[in-house]
Chains A and B, each alone.
Chain A
Amino acid sequence: MSDTQQPQPTGAADAAAELAEIQRRQQQVIRSTLVPVWYWWVMAAAIVAIGAARDSHVTVVLAITIPLAVLVMVVLTGAMIPEVRRRVQVHSATQPGARGAAAIFGLIVLVNAVIIATAASLDASHIPHPMTIGYAAGAALLVTAGPLVMGYCRRLMFSRAQQQVNDAPEAGGAG
């Protein structure tokens, strides 16, 4: 087979190019397991819809909009994860672990805190549409910080994948 007849790299440049290719493919796997940017926009839209529904004080609007928005968020989140897991699963040594989970949990807590604090303070000041504005503030934070958290997780996974590659001499033994 011709593919097996590849000569060994003749120099450092060939070896470096091969290592770069390895890193590029590892990064490709990591990128494909993270949620896309549009996910945060859909979630933000659902959050704003909940806020607007709460400000409407119309029972029918509340009864339809809130369950629908929650359903969209749950179904989308539920669908994203199996979709990723069905295609590829990142190696356990590369997963973001506790730091990644803490970053995601921190984002959820922060978004909720912003929604509650903004809506409560606006309501106390008798400013119209406090829920809509409060939820919109939380949504704005989500679309801004969501991709940043994903970027953090990606960097964490890249560095772990890089560490695995750098640890290879120990695994491979001395030449």
Chain B
Amino acid sequence: MSTAGFDELIHAPTRLEIVSLLAAAQWADFKYIRDELGLSDSALSKQLSTLESAGYVEIRRRFVGKRPRTSASLSQAGRQAFEQHVAALQRIIARSQQDGDSRLAAEPDHRVHGR
């Protein structure tokens, strides 16, 4: 099934979790994302790099005192892609419901006609 707006990059389970988390946030700390999703540093870095390369995520690196602090946020393009992906999922569900309704309407009522 091909669906316009369906984003293969976001659809991948780990990235879907990351993007969903970031969609509800203005920004999120690297450690927060890691802990909330139960990922390792390297796994999260890898996924964030992929999303950053696609232009979906913006990574901010700054220092708080002497400690480096990394945070991530969804870019405009990332938010748009996420919304389109959600819309595509909703269309899949709506289409399935329509198909189900059409089938029900087309089916003869065997209980009535059979008697």
Contacts and interface: CB of A to CB of B under 8 A. Distances in A.
Interface of A: 1, 3-4, 6, 8-12, 14-16, 18-19, 21-22, 24-26, 28-30, 32, 86-92, 94, 161, 164-165, 167-169, 171-173, 175
B24 A171 contact: no
B21 to A, nearest CB: 5
B58 interface: no
Nearest to A171: B83
What 8 pairs across the A-B complex have the smallest Cβ distances?
A: A172-B87, A12-B96, A25-B20, A172-B84, A26-B24, A3-B12, A168-B86, A29-B24
Contacts of B83: 167-168, 171-172
Contacts of B36: 28-29, 32
A4 B8 contact: yes
Nearest to A12: B96
A12 B97 contact: yes
A28 B92 contact: no
Nearest to A175: B4
Contacts of A171: 80, 83-84, 87
16 contacts: A3-B47, A4-B12, A9-B92, A10-B1, A12-B92, A12-B93, A15-B92, A19-B86, A25-B17, A87-B29, A87-B32, A90-B26, A161-B24, A169-B87, A172-B88, A173-B87
Nearest to B21: A25
B59 interface: no
Contacts of A24: 20
Contact of B24 (A3, A16, A30): A30
Interface string B85-111: 111111111011100000000000000
**Best-surrounded residue of A21, A86, A91, A94 (most CB of chain B within 10 A):** A91
Nearest to A9: B92
Nearest to B81: A172
A31 to B, nearest CB: 10
Contact of B16 (A21, A92, A165): A21
A6 B28 contact: no
Nearest to A95: B26
Contacts of B64: 86
Nearest to A13: B96
**Best-surrounded residue of A9, A10, A19, A175 (most CB of chain B within 10 A):** A175
A16 B24 CA distance: 19
B13 A90 contact: no
**Best-surrounded residue of B27, B64, B87 (most CB of chain A within 10 A):** B87
B40 interface: no
A15 B93 CA distance: 7
B27 A88 contact: yes
